[in-house]
């Protein structure tokens, strides 16, 4: 019997880096911007809320601080700040899965695409890793600039996707540094094109999905080197196949993250 599957999708948000077309979003503040039952916004979000979203006094805003989601009403709106009254707050967690992607350092547009889409999917952290087959080489000054840009992309995507946290992109590790922290995770999954026996679905069906820390390792454009793969297996990483087709470095983490969230998220 032959099956034909048709997938129809509807896009509710059109996304770009200035998010000028998005009308529903969360805004993030620090603790020092909350005073009693009021929240003050005094950064670059003021212009966006006032002139792009065209919010006015009496309108509602969704604001996030340290994982708490505040539903607020705008009580004062100026060119310098916005004052909001807290209507209610919620500490409901969006996911029971804590997922980190160790992404082989790739070209800028590919990394940015991974950060944007993995933020929308629900990944908690992306850590770029310098591997043997990386095409991109960055000095320390360039790394600082990249991290700043990547974190901004994550923040914008987090606002758009109504997250109650911001995906972290805080550091670039070398291969040894990555290996040293893998023990922090409950499961470590390595996407490896030479794996012939173990499929991702074989691993996921045996995972208890309560409050897990899962790490996924994806190679750069040139893939994971054979010696690196052996070292990762020695560090308790499980090598998995994603099927018969080879996925690009920017496609693999999105596919894996989507499958993990679909199978394990409650």
Give the mean pLDDT of 103-117: 96
Name the least confident of 20-29, 93-102, 127-136, 222-231: 20-29
Task: Mark whether 117 and 239 lie in a shared domain.
Answer: yes
Residue 57 sits in a domain of what CATH number? 2.40.240.20
Please give the tally of structural domains in the chain: 2
pLDDT score of 177 more than 90: yes
Do 105 and 178 lie in one domain? The reply is yes
The parent domain of residue 166 ranges over 97-264
Do 131 and 205 belong together in one domain? Answer: yes
Residue 117 sits in the same domain as residue 216: yes
In a domain, 17, yes or no: no
| Confidence (pLDDT) at 23 | 52
Tens digit of each residue's pLDDT (9 = 90 or more) over 50-104: 988 899 999 999 998 988 889 999 999 998 999 999 999 887 766 788 999 999 9
Q: Is residue 16 part of a domain?
A: no
Q: What is the mean pLDDT of the chain?
A: 88
The pLDDT of residue 12 is 40
pLDDT-based confidence at residue 257 (cuts at 50, 70, 90): very high
At 147 the three-state DSSP class reads helix
Cβ count near 151 (within 10 Å): 16
- Beta bridge partners of residue 113, listed in sequence order: none
Mean predicted confidence (pLDDT) in 169-190: 96
Please give the average per-residue pLDDT across 240-249, as a whole number.
92
Query: How far is 96 from 265, CA to CA, in rounded Å?
Result: 6
pTM attached to this predicted model:
0.81
Kindly state whether residue 8 falls inside one of the protein's structural domains. Answer: no
Q: What residues pair up with 88 in beta bridges, in sequence order? A: 71
CATH of the domain at 253: 3.40.1280.10
In a domain, 2, yes or no: no
CA-CA distance, 186 to 181, in Å (whole number)?
12
Distance CA 154, CA 57 (A): 29
């Amino acid at each position: 019997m032959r099956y034909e599957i048709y997938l129809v999708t509807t896009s509710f948000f059109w996304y770009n880096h200035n998010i000028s077309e998005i009308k529903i979003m969360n805004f993030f503040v620090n603790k020092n911007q909350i005073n009693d039952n009021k929240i003050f916004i005094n950064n670059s979000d003021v212009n966006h809320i006032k002139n792009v979203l065209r919010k006015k006094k009496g309108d509602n805003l969704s604001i996030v601080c340290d994982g708490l989601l505040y539903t607020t009403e705008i009580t004062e709106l100026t060119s310098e700040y916005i004052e909001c009254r807290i209507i209610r707050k919620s500490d409901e967690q969006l996911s029971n899965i804590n997922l980190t992607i160790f992404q082989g350092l790739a070209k800028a547009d590919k990394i940015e695409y991974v950060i944007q889409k993995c933020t929308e999917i629900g990944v908690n952290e992306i850590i770029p890793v310098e591997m043997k087959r990386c095409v991109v080489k960055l000095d320390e000054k360039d790394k600082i600039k990249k991290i700043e840009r990547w974190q901004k992309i994550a923040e914008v995507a987090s606002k758009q996707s109504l997250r109650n946290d911001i995906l972290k992109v805080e550091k670039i590790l070398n291969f040894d540094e990555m290996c040293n922290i893998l023990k922090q995770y409950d499961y470590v999954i390595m996407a490896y094109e030479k794996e012939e026996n173990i499929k991702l679905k074989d691993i996921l069906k045996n995972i208890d999905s309560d409050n897990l820390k899962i790490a996924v390792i994806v190679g750069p454009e040139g893939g994971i080197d054979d010696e690196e793969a052996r070292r990762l297996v020695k560090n308790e990483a499980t090598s998995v196949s994603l099927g018969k087709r080879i996925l690009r470095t920017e496609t693999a983490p999105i596919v894996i993250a989507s499958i993990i969230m679909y199978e394990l998220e409650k």
